[in-house]
Structure formats: C-alpha cells, structure tokens
Amino acid sequence: MQLDFGTAPTAADADTLTDLSSADSPSATSAADPRGSAVRTVLPRVDARDDGLELVFEGRLRYEGDQLLGEGGMGEVRLAHDNDIDRRVALKRAHPGMSRQALARFAEEVRTVGKLEHPNIVPIHDVGLDEEGRYFFVMKYVEGETLETVIERLAAGDREAHERFDFDARVHVFLGLLRALAHAHERGFLHRDLKPANVMIGRLGEVVLMDWGIAKPIGGAELPADDDAYQRRLVHTQHGAIVGTPSYMSPEQARGAPDLDVRSDLYAACVVFHELMTLRHYLADRPQNVPGQLSGAMEAPLPPVTDMPAWTHASQGPLPIEYVHFLRRGMQKDRDARWGSAEEMIHELEAALAGRVRVQCPMSLTKRVTREAGRFVDRHPRLATTLLFATPLTLAATLLTLASF
C-alpha cells in the first residue's frame, strides 16, 4: 500500500495515514503525524546598526539548495545550506511515493546512523520533512570524493592520485573503514552494503562510511521487504531475493544465508581493499551480470601469491607481499578461515605498516629479515657497523690466506 507524499500535505493526508495504520500493521498514529510542518529557521538574522541591534525573525525554509551529490537505491543526496546554523549540509531525501514499509526503513536508517557515533561514520544532524512532504535527514556534508572515484583515478594512472594515495596511504584509508566497522559491529550492526561508492574521503583525508540504508542488527529480524525503495536494492536469484550489491557480497550473502555475521561485512571490506590496492575488481573477468557476479562471489578464489601479474597494475608496482597474504585470508570462501573481527585486521595491518611483517613465504621472510636488520642498526649502530665491515674483511683475509698456500 502506497502513501503518495508527492503533493503538499493536507489534513486529509493525515487521515489517510490513520486509516492505513488501522488497516494493517505496523501501526502509526495520526496524532504524531508531523507532515505539513516543513522545517523553518528559528534564529533571527542579526543586523548590527549604529543605534543598536536589529533582530529579524525570517522563518525561512531551514534547508535550501538543490545540487545533486549522488543518487542510490533509497533516495537522493543533495547539498543544501542550513540557514539557521549557516553551513553546508548533505540532505538525504527519500523517494516520493513512500510506502509505510519504506518509511519504517527510513526511520531505521536514521536511528542506526544516530546510534553509531564515530569519527569514521557520517554524523547525522537532523531529520525533517520538506515542502513537498518528503522525509529527509541531514548529515554532515563530506566535501571530498567517494572511494569509487579515487579508485577510478588511480586505475587511470592519475599522477596526483598516486602521489596522494601510495600503498601506505591506501592502507590508512582502509583502516578508517575497519574502525567504522569495528564500532558498528561492537554496537551489534551489520552494514551489508560495503562498496567504494559508500565510502567517502574528505578534503582533510578523513574516511567516512555512509549509506546505512540496509544495515541490520546482527541476528535481528529483517523488516518486511515489499516497499519500492527496498525492491530497488533487492537482487533476485534462483534462491529468492537478497539485499546488497552482488560484486561486493560475501559468499554466504550471495547464497542468501540467513545467519550473516561480522565476517560477511569483513569479506566485503576486503573486496573493497583488494580493488583499492590492485585497481581491479576480483570478479572483472566474470560475466558482468547478477548471476555471473553472484557465482563469482561464491566460487572465484583470489589468484595465488606467486601469480605476480594478478597482483600488479600497469600504473604501479606489485602489491607488497604482506597485503597479498592479508587479502587472501580475508577473502576465503569459508568464513571460518577468514579474519574473525575488524580489530584483528586492524592489528595485523598496523603491524605491517610498522614493518612487523608476518613470515608466510620466502618473500615475506626476506622482507622481515631486512626490516629486522634495519631495526638492529637503529638499536646498536656501532656494533652493526663493525659487523657489516668486519665480516667481509675477515672473510677476504681468510680467503687470501688460504689462497697463498
């Protein structure tokens, strides 16, 4: 059943909502129906004059502006100006013609983001109704670009992008995403739609995870899925309808498993990290349609560590070996073989950044030995220098002595 919010709300609309709520669950009450009260400014304009102050109460529309920032399954995001606080904000508006289920889902998204206060999660400032009676919520405006754009620029060989986002900087970006996930998981929420388009990098380098439109409490019940906005995010498979983005789904999410846990989000996060580091999607060679991507998510393994071309891109050198091992573990099809938590992954990556590379193959052994040798020089500079020069000298003297006999 649809509630058309496309026209200016009237008292009759409120009655309609009452009728609907009594007709089927979940219920809503007309007494609390706020439609028709488009948000207006409350603070006065302050004009300082020679003979004192003039305060002008304008009662303007609080949020104005129309530049489209992005559009997705649940609605559109526009840049707006908050006329009360006098700053730019991002406004996410639901699609018109919102059904009761869509409204329920919208309310869930607002409350989920509201519960997740964290530096790597987009903060929510306000919620309201616009002139046309469409629900919106107000977020911090993240001035920057999505990770999707960053990856595109890197893959195209953009020099400025490569200077700003070398491998270490990309690991730092991913750590921001993992910290957001660690917080959400600790609070009991799964994101379920991790992908580069849902991660933003702000002008100051801050990493912000957004779009909690299909987030769900771990182990919690799914909201009814019969509204239009949700339908747009559903993927229909032979096993039924699943929610998310096929090319970033974990194998269990692609299978439609009902018992997703944090390891499903962590797999998707690793798909994002893989793409950010290798500049290609691991399912790029698979058919670019829903069945092709879903079967890839369930079956396609990552290339072996020794397949150097697979870990190299024309615009950059090969991926440091520790990240190849990290990704191969993170994208195991069997979730028991993956990383168990975002914290564990953060710990591993911080150790790698600090040079404490885990020894897993001859290459990582070589790297570890060289890094340890460097650390030894830092701790014992004189002894290290003596050893470095003394050893070849001793060796040469022994060889010369032996040769003279």
Ligand X SMILES: Nc1ncnc2c1ncn2[C@@H]1O[C@H](COP(=O)(O)OP(=O)(O)O)[C@@H](O)[C@H]1O
Q: Which residues are catalytic?
A: 193
E strand or H helix that includes residue 137: strand 135-140
Tell me whether residue 128 or residue 213 sits nearer to Mg ion (CB atom).
213
Q: Are 13 and 104 in contact (CB under 8 A)?
A: no
Q: Which of 235, 219, 210 is nearest to 289 (CA)?
A: 235
**Considering only CA atoms, which of 139, 159, 136, 109 is closest in space to residue 35?**
136
290 contact choice in ligand X, Mg ion, none (CB below 5 to 8 Å, kind-dependent): none
Residues 52-111 that bind ligand X (CB under 6 A): 69-75, 77, 90, 92
Q: Does 256 bind Mg ion (CB under 5 A)?
A: no
Minimal distance, residue 140 CB to ligand X, in Å: 6
User: Which is closer to Mg ion, CB of 112 or CB of 198?
Assistant: 198
The residue (of 77 and 173) whose beta carbon lies closer to Mg ion is 77
Task: Identify the residue among 41, 146, 245, 247 touching ligand X (CB under 6 A).
Answer: 146
Residues contacting residue 134 through CB under 8 Å, at least 6 positions apart: 5, 93, 94, 96, 98
Q: Which is nearer to ligand X, 84 or 145 (CB)?
A: 145
Binding of residue 303 to Mg ion (CB under 5 A): no
End-to-end Cα separation, the chain, in angstroms: 102
Compute how many residues bind ligand X; rule: CB under 6 A: 21
318 binds, among ligand X, Mg ion, none (CB under 5 to 8 A by kind): none
Q: Assess 202 for contact with ligand X (CB under 6 A).
A: no
Q: Which of residues 119-138 bind ligand X (CB under 6 A)?
A: 122
C-beta of residue 225 within 8 angstroms of C-beta of residue 234: yes
* Binder among 197, 234, 300, 359 for ligand X (CB under 6 A): 197
Select from ligand X, Mg ion, none the partner in contact with residue 139, using the beta carbon and a kind-dependent cut-off of 5 to 8 Å: ligand X
Question: x/- site string to Mg ion, residues 179 to 218, per CB under 5 A?
Answer: -------------------x------------x-------
Q: Provide the minimum distance between the beta carbon of 326 and ligand X in the complex, in angstroms, as a whole number.
A: 26
- Identity at 369, one-letter amino acid code: V
Beta bridge partners of 87: 82
- Residues 248-256: contacts with CB within 8 Å, 24+ apart? 248/193, 248/194, 248/195, 248/272, 249/293, 249/294, 249/297, 250/297, 250/335, 251/297, 251/298, 251/299, 251/333, 251/335, 252/335, 253/192, 253/297, 254/294, 254/295, 254/297, 254/298, 255/298
Question: Which CB, 19 or 143, lies closer to ligand X?
Answer: 143
Interface with ligand X (CB under 6 A), residue from 80, 94, 142, 184: 142
Our CB check for ligand X shows the closer of 229 and 294 to be 229
Cβ-contact 218, 190 below 8 angstroms = yes
CA-based torsion, 223, 74, 110, 260: positive or negative = positive
Mapped to the 3 state alphabet, what secondary structure does 168-210 carry?
HHHHHHHHHHHHHHHHHHHCCEECCCCCHHHEEEECCCCEEEC
Of all residues in the shown chain, the one whose CB is closest to ligand X is 72
The distance of closest approach from Cβ of residue 289 to Mg ion in the complex, given in angstroms and rounded to an integer, is 20
Helices (H), 228-320: 228-233, 251-255, 262-278, 290-299
CB 78, min distance to ligand X, A: 9
* Range in contact with ligand X (rule: CB under 6 A) among 80-88, 205-213, 290-298, 366-374: 205-213
245 binds ligand X (CB under 6 A): no
Quickly list DSSP for 99-117. Answer: BHHHHHHHHHHHHHHHH--
We find the least distance from the C-beta atom of residue 127 to ligand X, in angstroms, to be: 14
- Out of 34, 36, 65, 72, which residue is the one contacting Mg ion (CB under 5 A)? 72
Binding site for Mg ion (CB under 5 A): 72, 198, 211
Positions in the binding site for ligand X (CB under 6 A): 69-75, 77, 90, 92, 122, 139-142, 146, 197-198, 210-211, 213
